[in-house]
Chains A and B, each alone.
Chain A
Amino acid sequence: MKTVVSVSLGSSRRDHAAVLTILGEDVQLARRGMDGSIERALDTIHALDGHVDALGLGGVDRWLTVGPRRYTVPTGERLAQAATATPVVDGTGIKSVWEPMVVQRLAADGILQAGQTALMVSALDRYPMAAALDAAGLHLVCGDLMFSARINYPIRTLAELQELGDRLVPEMVKLPFQQLYPVGGDQDAVPDPRFVSHFEEADVVAGDFHFIRRYLPGRLDGKVVLTTTTTTTDVDLLWSRGLSIMATTSPQLDGRTFGTNVLEAALVAASGVQAPDPRWDDIVRAAGLAPFVRRRPAREHA
C-alpha cells in the first residue's frame, strides 16, 4: 500500500487517517497538524522524507497562481525543500485541473447557476476555481482583502483580482504566513462576524474552509458551500446554520474530506506523476474523482 502524509500548519485537533483507493491503488492517507509551528513541520518532513510515497503541505501554499503568473511563497517553499527524496505537493495541481472541472459539473447539475453571486473567500489561492465560476456566469465577489487583511473591500472582477494580486502578492508572501491565513489554534477560534453582509449577498460561498469557518455568519439559509477539508463537526456546524447544499472538491472518507494537498499527494503516490508533467492533467481526469455533494438533511429542517 502506498503511504501519504499531509504535514499541515493547522490544528492537530483535525488529524485523521483513512485509506483511499485511487487509480487502482490503495493509498494510506494521514494528516498531521503542527499547530502553527514551522519548526515542527520542518522536523516532521525531514523525518518522513524517503519513508513515504508523497508528502502534502497543508495550511500553507508553496505557490500562488494569479492568472498567468506564479508566485513562490517562501514559507511553503522552505517546507517543500526540506524533503529531498519524497515529492512534496501543496494542492496546486488539484486546484488548477480538478477544481475547475468540479465547478463545471456543479453548473451542469444546476447546483451552480449563471446569475448567482459567489463569494470566494480567498481567490488568490484558488484562481482557477474563481475563473471557472466567472466562466459559468456567476457574479464573483473575492474576499482576499477582507479575509486575509481585514479590509472591507470586495473584489468583483477577475481583472481587478489579477491587478491587485500582481501588486500585493509578491510582497505579502514575504510576511509570516500566519498573518495571512488562520493556522494552529486560529482554526478553532470563534467565528468573526464582521463581513456578514458579504455572506448574506452570496448564493454560493466558495473556497478554503478555514476562511469560511473563521468568518462564518449566523445563518446560511438557501446557500451552497463549495469547499474542501471538512470534518463531521464542520459539516454539522454548516447544517446548523441553515446551509442548503454542501459540495466538496475531494471525496468524503470516514465522514471528512481531505485537503487538495492530500488528494494531490495520493495521485502522485499512485501514479508516480507530478505536475507540471504533461501527463498530469490526464492522470487527474483518469482518477475517477467526483465532487461530494450533500443536500441539507431532513432532520435539520426547521
Chain B
Amino acid sequence: MSALGDTLGRFAEACSRNQRLQQMNRDWDRLILVQPDDADDQHWVRYHEGVAAVVAKDGDPDLIVEGASDVLVSIFSGASTPTEPYMSGDLRVRGSQDDVMRLDVIALLIWGE
C-alpha cells in the first residue's frame, strides 16, 4: 500500500477510536475521495455513524480532497494542519462548505488527544 494509503488507514482508525469525534460525527454519513494529483492513485474513506474506514469505491463521493501526495500525507498524519494549504490552494477540497469545515475540524482534533 502507498504511504498515503497507510496514512489514511491510521487516520480512519484514530477517528473511530476517538469518542468525541464519534459523538460529533454520529449523524455524518459521507464518502470521501482522497486523490493525489501527482500519482495515479485513489483512496476512499467512508464516515458512517461516527466510524471511519478506508473502503473500496462504492458510489459517488460527497467530498473530494486533492493535493500533492506529500501534502495529503502531512495533513492526514497530523504533521501539518489543513487550513493554510487549503487557503493557499495546495489542498483542494470539493464539497459543501459545511462538509469542508467539518473535515477541517476533524483534522484539527484528531491528533494529539
Any B CB within 8 A of the CB of A37:
no
Contact assessment for B81 and A168 in the assembled complex, using a CB-CB cutoff below 8 Å: no
Contact assessment for A171 and B101 in the assembled complex, using a CB-CB cutoff below 8 Å: no
Against A, the Cβ 8 Å flags (1 = close, 0 = not) of B83-102 are 11001000000000110011
Pick the residue among B20, B83, B98, B102 that contacts A175 (CB under 8 A): B83
Contact assessment for B83 and A151 in the assembled complex, using a CB-CB cutoff below 8 Å: no
Residues of chain A within 8 A of B97, CB atoms compared: 179
A171-B98 contact given A151-B24, A152-B27, A153-B24, CB 8 Å threshold: no
- Most chain B CB within a 10 A radius of its CB, from A145, A164, A171, A179: A171
Against B, the Cβ 8 Å flags (1 = close, 0 = not) of A154-191 are 00000000001001100110110001000000000000
Bound-state CA distance A81–B97 (Å) is: 29
Size category, A interface: 10 to 19
Any A CB within 8 A of the CB of B109:
yes
Pick the residue among B82, B84, B87, B102 that contacts A151 (CB under 8 A): B102
Contact assessment for B102 and A150 in the assembled complex, using a CB-CB cutoff below 8 Å: yes
Shortest B44–chain A CB gap in Å is: 22
Residues of chain B within 8 A of A164, CB atoms compared: 109
Residues of chain A within 8 A of B83, CB atoms compared: 171-172, 174-175
Any A CB within 8 A of the CB of B42:
no
A145-B24 contact given A151-B105, A167-B109, CB 8 Å threshold: yes
Closest residue of chain A to B105 (Cβ to Cβ) is A149
Contact assessment for A174 and B109 in the assembled complex, using a CB-CB cutoff below 8 Å: no
Residues of chain B within 8 A of A167, CB atoms compared: 108-109
Which label, helix, strand, loop or mixed, suits the secondary structure of the B interface?
helix
Residues of chain A within 8 A of B109, CB atoms compared: 164, 167-168
Shortest A141–chain B CB gap in Å is: 14
Contact assessment for A149 and B81 in the assembled complex, using a CB-CB cutoff below 8 Å: no
Residues of chain B within 8 A of A153, CB atoms compared: 20, 23-24
Contact assessment for B101 and A149 in the assembled complex, using a CB-CB cutoff below 8 Å: yes
A149-B108 contact given A171-B81, A171-B83, CB 8 Å threshold: no
Residues of chain A within 8 A of B82, CB atoms compared: 171
Any A CB within 8 A of the CB of B104:
yes
Bound-state CA distance A145–B102 (Å) is: 9
Shortest B75–chain A CB gap in Å is: 12
Contact assessment for A174 and B87 in the assembled complex, using a CB-CB cutoff below 8 Å: yes
Bound-state CA distance A153–B108 (Å) is: 15
Residues of chain B within 8 A of A174, CB atoms compared: 83-84, 87
Contact assessment for A175 and B24 in the assembled complex, using a CB-CB cutoff below 8 Å: no
Bound-state CA distance A246–B69 (Å) is: 54
Closest residue of chain B to A174 (Cβ to Cβ) is B83
In chain A between 123 and 150, which residues have their CB closer than 8 angstroms to a CB of chain B? 145, 149-150
Bound-state CA distance A168–B101 (Å) is: 11
A175-B27 contact given A145-B105, A167-B108, A168-B105, CB 8 Å threshold: no
Contact assessment for A172 and B24 in the assembled complex, using a CB-CB cutoff below 8 Å: no
Shortest B92–chain A CB gap in Å is: 15
Closest residue of chain A to B106 (Cβ to Cβ) is A151
> Could you tell me which A residues sit within 8 Å of B by CB distance?
145, 149-153, 164, 167-168, 171-172, 174-175, 179
10 cross-chain CB contacts under 8 A:
A145-B24, A151-B102, A151-B105, A153-B24, A168-B105, A171-B83, A172-B83, A174-B84, A174-B87, A175-B104
- Interface contacts beyond A167-B109, A168-B109, A172-B104: sample of 11 additional A-B pairs, CB < 8 Å, sorted by A: A149-B105, A150-B101, A151-B25, A152-B24, A152-B27, A153-B23, A164-B109, A168-B105, A171-B82, A174-B87, A175-B104
What are the nearest 9 A-B pairs in CB distance? A171-B83, A153-B24, A150-B98, A174-B83, A149-B101, A171-B81, A151-B24, A168-B108, A171-B108
